[in-house]
Amino acid sequence: MKVGFIQSSPKFGEVEANVKLALRNIRKLDAELVVLPELFNTGYRFRSRKEALSLAEAIPNGATTSKLIEVAKEKNIFIVAGLPEKARGKIYNSSVLVGPKGFISVYRKAHLFSTEKRLFTPGNTPFEVHDIGKAKVGMMICFDWLFPEAARTLALKGADIICHPSNLVLPHCPQAMITRCLENRVFAITANRVGSEARVGAERLRFIGKSQIV
């Protein structure tokens, strides 16, 4: 199976432009499974829960997921992408899996990093594995990498490939994901972003890039 990732630098809050660029890049890729970063459509540094809620979307009927489905059908491929999800008054840091037949699944991030806890509700979805024909795939998001149980659960459920949308700022994950793959005998696609954001206080977050397929 031919796989790929998009490593992007979204402009905060410019959802339409960010999605348009991502779709253009997906169309250029010769891959059957494509993984996009965490929160690829909005950017990362929300100033408040209210702001996050204003940019979050319903899944699967929101605009971003609908556009991902359109491209998946057009190219006959599978796409995993991270975006903020609103559901019953709560906000989740989520990723979707879509394919040629439409929406397949959503995963809500279990292990929230740092100030994400002020914005998002911890995920209430299980680590699930889905058969997409040539491979069985599971999803985890960014900071889930630190907890061995996440990858282990997916492996025990039969995953061949772990799709890992990320907004990594710490340097340790790329090497750690090699370990996760070795100890669980699985492949992983980590799609990280690049660039920086300084919307909250004086601190500027710099994203390390270093997306990888292991």
C-alpha distances in Å from residue 7, one per residue of 155, 191, 204: 25, 6, 19
Tokens 């889905």 label which residue? 130
Considering the candidates 142, 163, 173, 181, report the single residue annotated as catalytic: 142
Determine which one of 32, 86, 109, 181 is catalytic. 109
Q: Which residue in the list 32, 38, 85, 116 is annotated as catalytic?
A: 38
Cα first-last separation, the chain: 14
Token representation of residue 52: 């996050």
Whether 38 is a known active-site residue: answer yes
Residues sharing a CB contact under 8 Å with residue 37, sequence separation 6 or more, in sequence order = 6, 7, 8, 10, 81, 82, 165, 166, 167, 191, 192, 193, 211
Tokens of 157: 């459920």
The answer to whether 85 touches 58, Cβ cutoff 8 Å, is: yes
86 labelled catalytic: no
Tell me how far CA of residue 70 lies from CA of 8, 27, 50, 213, in angstroms. Answer: 20, 11, 29, 25
User: Is there a contact between 206 and 192 (Cβ–Cβ < 8 Å)?
Assistant: no
Residues that are catalytic = 38, 109, 142
